[in-house]
Homo-oligomer: A and B are copies of this chain.
Amino acid sequence: MDLSIKIKDKILPNPVGVASGTFGYGEEYAPLTDLSALGAIYTKAVTVEPRPGNPLPRLVETPAGMINSIGLANVGTERFLKEKIPFLNSLSCPVILNVAGSLEEEYAEVIRRVDSQDALWGYEVNISCPNVKHGGLAFGTDPVQVERLTSSLKKLTDKPLIMKLTPNVTDISAIARAAEAGGADAVACINTVMGMVVDIHKRKPAIPAVTGGLSGPAVKPVGVAAVYRVSKAVNIPVIGLGGIMNADDAVEYLLAGASALQIGTANFVDPDTSGKVLTGIKEYMKEAGFTRISDFHGHF
């Protein structure tokens, strides 16, 4: 059974990674799951400068989901290199840096500064960030911006470049095609869905930023639909995520067209979800007589 997935000229050992923002830089989860067994760690977003993140409270639960408003809280590129790279260097699993910014130039600057690091397998570009040059609309909502950002980042690195799509758009296929046209080596979907909770006792939004990002089982059908549509629209690998809690959910995404997966919110519920999902995928493949991940594709 071959579980590996090729992205550009590099190999992910298995399809089950852990999603950006839900796993820090791996350290915290080291006692709780076998990091070396992960298909990939997608780090918390890194920006050029350190960012404190959004005001609190930052979390609120919803039916079968949660909303987060962490913002891009991170230590910035310099301290990332100093404080996080040594640990990441010690890991045997692929580490994919989630890159964020408010301007095209900021994304580029992060990649320029870290690209020589062998610890980094590739990049995942978070285009759900508001583009300050375009009235705060997220980069990922406009195909023109997405193609431009992708192609300008492609020039800076030989590592695989994954564009992470937001579901908060009219036509996610168009965005995916723009990423592919810009030279993306893969796309990941979905980032969080825009949502909001009102505290009816305080009569104000549950989080100060008013709207936040919905994740967890509630959004799984949205993620599966996105992966299905995107995988029909492009010829690069699609990485599926959104509400995967167990192997059955993971298999849904694979059958819908995903070549790899990320476990996000589920890490909070069971820190070893990724291990269990990988085991479950293997069992499913054995029963189905599948020998490689691509055997999941093309059934409908």
Contacts and interface: CB of A to CB of B under 8 A. Distances in A.
A234 interface: no
B221 A214 contact: yes
Contact of A196 (B196, B225, B284): B225
B170 A218 contact: no
A228 B194 CA distance: 12
Contacts of A251: 198, 200
A193 interface: yes
Contact of A204 (B64, B210, B214, B300): B300
Contacts of A229: 211
Contacts of A203: 255, 299-300
A137 B174 CA distance: 13
A198 B168 contact: no
B195 A222 contact: yes
Contacts of A194: 222, 225
User: Looking at chain A, what size class is its interface with the partner chain?
Assistant: 35 or more
A108 interface: no
A222 B193 contact: yes
A83 interface: no
Contacts of A196: 221, 224-225, 228, 256
Contacts of A200: 248, 251-252, 255, 284
A222 to B, nearest CB: 5
Interface in A45-84: 62-65, 67
A86 interface: no
Interface in A167-221: 168-171, 193-198, 200, 203-205, 210-211, 214, 216-221
Contacts of A198: 224, 251-252, 255-256
Contacts of A256: 196, 198
Nearest to A250: B200
A141 interface: yes
A80 B284 CA distance: 49
Given A62-B220, A64-B217, A211-B225, A299 B204 contact: yes
Interface of A: 62-65, 67, 137, 141, 168-171, 193-198, 200, 203-205, 210-211, 214, 216-222, 224-225, 228-229, 243, 248, 251-252, 255-256, 284, 299-300
Which 8 pairs across A and B sit closest by C-beta, in order of nearness? A195-B221, A63-B217, A64-B64, A196-B225, A218-B218, A63-B64, A198-B252, A203-B299
Given A137-B171, A205-B300, 7 more contacts: A63-B217, A169-B170, A195-B225, A204-B300, A210-B300, A211-B225, A218-B221
